[in-house]
């Protein structure tokens, strides 16, 4: 298993585990003292640690040796309109698994999600990072309204806007037409809420230079489905 910890990772460091983490390792994964655990903190790369059990529900980890050097956070920005909590959990995890290094909730006219629970969002990104093997936690940017999110994007960042009303063109050709795969620009992806973007919002997004509206096919996808589809597509065509 891989665990994200806050502490510095140096040989010999003893890290007491929180009860939930100890319970997960000892009783859910049924790991014993000889089973290695991999740790990362977003700064020091990945380290192997030994599990030192000190009770049925308490344990600590003894840091042993580095297994992978630190890698920087991915540069892909994922902008999304919050969804209802269960789907938002799923979307946050998929965005991280699919390579988003920065995620930003964007409030739009038809955003349905109730008050955004940023702590829950953070917990989902940590869980996804542990599961998919990245060494840097994604940055969760402050939730803002659409105009602010667009203005905050660096002009050179290509914005891929998922638009179910866009012409049914070849998405790969559309991406290749917007950027040179040989030297891809920094990227951002924008997916709307379950209620879709308003006409004004579409106009605002399309008015931004360096923006490509992408159709993901003739069917209406749920926002979290669109997230996985577009992130996979963008990275397969323009991933660095
Ligand atoms: N306008 C949709 C409708 O008529 O039901 C509602 C929006 S859809 C459920 C949620 C979001 O997923 C959209 O705002 C868009 O960003 C993305 N999306 C869904 N289907 C898509 C498609 N075929 N092509 C591109 N984006 C799509």
Show the tokens assigned to 117: 């629970």
Least Cα distance to 39 among 80, 5, 87 occurs for 5
Whole-number Å distance, alpha carbon 165 to ligand 1 midpoint, is: 8
Candidate of 192, 228, 234 to mutate for ligand 1, largest count of ligand atoms within 8 Å of Cβ: 192
Over range 211-235, report the average pLDDT. 94
| ipTM of the shown complex | 0.97
Least confident of 40-44, 140-144, 219-223, 235-239: 235-239
Closest Cα to atom 13 of ligand 1: 192
Residues 7 and 54: their CA atoms lie apart, in Å, by 20
For residues 72 and 136, is the Cβ–Cβ distance under 8 A? yes
Q: Residues 105-138, buried b or exposed e (16+ Cβ, 10 A)?
A: bbbbbebebeeeeeeebeebbbebbbeeebbbbb
Residues 139 and 223: their CA atoms lie apart, in Å, by 21
Whole-number Å distance, alpha carbon 213 to ligand 1 midpoint, is: 12
In the structure, what pLDDT confidence band is assigned to residue 240 with cuts at 50, 70 and 90? low
% of the chain with per-residue pLDDT over 90: 72
Least Cα distance to 51 among 67, 37, 69, 72 occurs for 37
Q: Give the pLDDT confidence of 154-193 residue by residue, as tens digits.
A: 999 999 999 999 988 888 889 998 998 888 899 999 999 9
In the structure, what pLDDT confidence band is assigned to residue 33 with cuts at 50, 70 and 90? confident
In the structure, what pLDDT confidence band is assigned to residue 113 with cuts at 50, 70 and 90? low
Q: Give the pLDDT confidence of 6-16 residue by residue, as tens digits.
A: 999 999 999 99
Over range 223-231, report the average pLDDT. 93
pLDDT at 169: 83
Task: Using the predicted structure, report yes or no on whether residue 27 has a pLDDT greater than 90.
Answer: no
Whole-number Å distance, alpha carbon 37 to ligand 1 midpoint, is: 41
pLDDT at 83: 84
Label the pairing between strands 14-16 and 158-162. Answer: unpaired
Give the ligand 1 atom nearest the CA of 195. Answer: 6
State pTM to two decimals. 0.91
| C-alpha distance from residue 151 to each of 143, 209, 229 (Å) | 13, 11, 25
CB-based pocket (< 6 A), ligand 1: 162-164, 191-192, 194, 196-197, 215-217, 219-223, 226
Q: Give the pLDDT confidence of 53-87 residue by residue, as tens digits.
A: 777 778 899 999 999 999 999 999 999 998 888 88
């Amino acid at each position: 298993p891989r665990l994200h910890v806050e502490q510095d990772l140096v040989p010999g460091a003893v890290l007491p585990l929180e009860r939930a983490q100890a319970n997960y390792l000892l009783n859910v994964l049924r790991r014993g003292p000889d089973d290695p655990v991999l740790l990362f903190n977003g700064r020091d790369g990945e380290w192997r640690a030994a599990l030192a059990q000190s009770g049925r529900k308490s344990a600590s980890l003894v840091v042993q040796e580095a297994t992978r050097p630190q890698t920087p956070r991915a540069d892909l920005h994922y902008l999304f309109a919050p969804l209802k909590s269960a789907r938002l959990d799923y979307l946050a995890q998929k965005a991280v698994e699919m390579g988003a290094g920065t995620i930003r909730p964007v409030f739009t006219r038809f955003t349905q999600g109730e008050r955004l629970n940023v702590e829950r969002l953070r917990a989902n990104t940590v869980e996804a990072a542990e599961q998919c093997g990245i060494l840097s936690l994604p940055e969760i940017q402050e939730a803002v309204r659409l105009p602010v999110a667009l203005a905050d994007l660096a002009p050179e960042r290509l914005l891929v806007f998922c638009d179910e009303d866009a012409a049914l063109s070849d998405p790969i050709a559309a991406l290749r037409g917007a950027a040179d795969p040989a030297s891809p620009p920094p990227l951002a992806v924008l997916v709307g809420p379950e209620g879709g973007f308003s006409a004004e919002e579409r106009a605002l997004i399309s008015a931004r230079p360096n923006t490509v509206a992408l159709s993901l096919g003739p069917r209406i996808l749920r926002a979290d489905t669109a997230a996985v589809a577009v992130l996979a597509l963008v990275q397969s065509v323009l991933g660095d």
